[in-house]
A and B are shown apart, each in its own frame.
Chain A
Amino acid sequence: MSATTTATLETEEAEVGFLVRAKGAWTVRLVRDLDGPLREISPKRARGRDAVIDLTGLTRLDTAGAWLLHRTSEQLRVAGLRVSYRGETAEIRTLLDVAEGYRFGFNLRLPRPPAYIQLADRVGATLISVANEVRGLLGFFGLLLEVLWRTIKHPSRLRVVPLVHHMERAGLDALPIVCLMTFLIGGVLAQQGAVQLQKFGAEVFTVNMVAITFLREIGILLTAIIVAGRSGSAFTAEIGSMKMREEVDAMRTLGLDPMDMLVVPRVLALVIMLPLLTFVADIMGLVGGALMVWQMLDTSPGVFIVRLSEAADFWTFGVGILKAPLMALVIAMIGCYAGMRVTGSAESVGVQTTRSVVQSIFMVIVLDALFAVFFTAIGI
């Protein structure tokens, strides 16, 4: 251990008074173990009224070491001793001056209120933010309806190119994933249903079960959730990053309405595409179910189609497909609204995108539940 890799401290009572000897390299990497002993130096041990801090043994010093020296000298001074340095060079003086520039009494830690207040605080803040969110969303819904009405009255305001672009992005590009997911879920549903129904010899009703659950509920629900995760989040991220780079503001100053330019094409694109996607999803789900039934129960596709036409009428399919445009409206609206809420930072794009996906999936399921009640009440 050499003098450049250690920092040590000695105290003794000498002729000149109470002597504190600093030795070695007092640098930030080495002073950790000196902190405690330095704090414990008790001025009571001093017999006289003088204290000397001896710096002649120092090989290196940085601001952290200088701070410890200064703190110690203050500590002794407060106790009524006269403190002087021995072996002070110009470099050491400069560093000590830096350390002396700092006054005690900085508050570095954020004040933390007691846990119960924090809890109440967070509950309250969440409630208020939810209320604001609902209010904002309702306001945005109103604005959107107004803009849509304006677009219907003056169809020339509609931006056709972005509309088609978003129809391709949100609809056509989603086909592979929607097909794959619904095909697999259709198969799984048929398989699980067949196993259970076989137990009481009712396996012929597997087709009814698959057809009705898929056409009424699963097809639209699955598609809406995939679209919410895929396109709702994309809407938020796209509009959000435009908002962040002030593109939206630039649009306004050029006399273009961001609602016309950004929101309406996206909303309309999704309202048109989600029913179409749902239609494809229904077919793929039934195909998956049919294949599984064929494989497990030896019900040939021909028989499947006959049983299908007995089990489901137009409204079984209609109930599912009717929900699609409304869910599309909600998903697109939440996605665009969250995008518009993005403020300056990149972090806020991330926050809003997460929020948009969570909210739209939640709303899709709530809507589905409401529809189930409604359609049961009107008897279809």
Chain B
Amino acid sequence: MTDDDPIIRVRGLRNQFGSQVVHDNLDLDVRRGEVLGIVGGSGTGKSVLLRSIVGLQRPTAGTVTVLGRTISEMEEEERKRLEQQWGILFQDGALFSALTVAENVQVPYREHLGLPLDLMDELAALKITMVGLPSDACTKYPSELSGGMRKRAGLARALALDPDILFLDEPTAGLDPIGAAAFDTLIRDLQRTLGLTVFLVTHDLDTLHATCDRIAVLADKRVTLQGTMDDMLRSDHPWIKEYFTGPRARAAQASATG
């Protein structure tokens, strides 16, 4: 596999729940080192797409190739190794409620690597600093944290094993505008320093402007358009037009350029 090959390649993906078809013949490429934003109306299956790629949802048809390996054809052991090369931030952090923030971050170290205790503590503290949490958050339980802090803690856990790919599901949903902007900056900074590939599902136009290199639009059960923000603005597709040039979009654009 060369560096030019897409790090994630989805071909002919079909997802169907009962008689309801969510995706039909969906193709998608994610290039190494980019931030790809996935947008689409409610119910277009953005989260389902994410879940199909990471193997939480078995697609009805189609193939998903991540880092050159096809998800559905993998053995259990190989899968486990691959899973350590990506990190996922779920919508509300999905922290284990019985563990403190530090213990949450240490779960992958404990389970997969068996690192010495002291090193585990140091690395967890490093990750927690990286995502911008204060030091007293380490010993807190998820229920004692605000929504924004939970997301940061979830991000620290997703980054614990220094993954190549980071999946983010609505990272700014439920955050106030200031918190959301700070989170956007954090994602962009971390992506640059750690050389991450980021797959980002979002509704938030500000996030798209602030963090994404490219955007993929889900509509009509597949990826209708994949390209840069400029490509989006030039599109004639009615939904894309409405989404990217509506009143809220203009405000987001103004704040991104101004």
Contact = CB atoms under 8 A, between A and B. Distances in A.
A108 B126 CA distance: 11
B123 A67 contact: yes
Contacts of A32: 113-116, 119
B125 A102 contact: yes
Contact of A107 (B135, B161, B162): B135
A95 B97 CA distance: 31
Given A27-B162, A102-B126, A347-B97, A107 B138 contact: yes
A29 interface: yes
B15 interface: no
B102 interface: yes
B166 interface: no
B116 A106 contact: no
A345 B92 CA distance: 13
Contacts of B130: 63, 98, 101-102
B193 A67 contact: no
Nearest to B130: A98
Contacts of B109: 28
Contacts of A27: 162
Contact of A63 (B115, B135, B138, B194): B194
Given A71-B122, A108-B121, A98 B135 contact: no
B139 interface: yes
Task: Please report whether the interface of chain B is mostly helix, strand, loop or mixed according to DSSP.
Answer: helix
Interface residues of A, number: 29
Contact of A98 (B139, B143, B193): B193
Given A27-B162, A32-B114, A67-B123, A106 B193 contact: no
B97 A28 contact: no
Contact of B100 (A36, A95, A101, A110): A110
Contacts of A101: 129-130
B139 A64 contact: no
Given A32-B113, A110-B139, A345-B143, A63 B102 contact: no
Nearest to B101: A108
B46 to A, nearest CB: 24
Contacts of B139: 107-110
Given A35-B116, A108-B102, A63 B125 contact: no
B111 to A, nearest CB: 13
Interface string A51-92: 000000000001110010001000000000000000000010
Contacts of A64: 123, 162
A99 interface: yes
B interface residue count range (under 10 / 10 to 19 / 20 to 34 / 35 or more):
20 to 34
Contacts of B143: 345
Contacts, number: 80
Given A99-B126, A107-B135, A63 B97 contact: no
A108 B156 CA distance: 14
Looking at B123, B127, B143, the one whose CB has the most chain A CB atoms below 10 A away is B123
A94 interface: yes
A106 B135 contact: yes
Contacts of A345: 97, 143
A66 to B, nearest CB: 9
B153 interface: no
Contacts of B118: 35
A327 B124 CA distance: 53
Nearest to A67: B126
Interface string B123-166: 11111111000011011000100000000000000011110000
B162 A28 contact: yes
Given A106-B135, A108-B138, A110-B100, A29 B126 contact: no
A95 B113 contact: no
Nearest to B115: A32
A107 B134 CA distance: 11
A36 to B, nearest CB: 7
B95 to A, nearest CB: 13
Contacts of A105: 135
Contacts of B128: 106
A106 B109 CA distance: 18
Q: Which 3 residue pairs across A and B have the least CB separation, nearest first?
A: A62-B162, A106-B125, A108-B102
Given A29-B84, A102-B130, 10 more contacts: A28-B113, A29-B161, A35-B119, A67-B122, A67-B123, A98-B126, A98-B194, A99-B126, A108-B124, A110-B139
23 contacts: A28-B109, A28-B123, A28-B160, A28-B161, A29-B161, A32-B113, A35-B119, A63-B123, A94-B193, A95-B193, A97-B193, A98-B130, A102-B130, A103-B129, A105-B135, A106-B121, A107-B135, A108-B100, A108-B102, A108-B124, A108-B125, A110-B100, A345-B97
Interface of A: 27-29, 31-32, 35-36, 62-64, 67, 71, 91, 94-95, 97-99, 101-103, 105-110, 345, 347
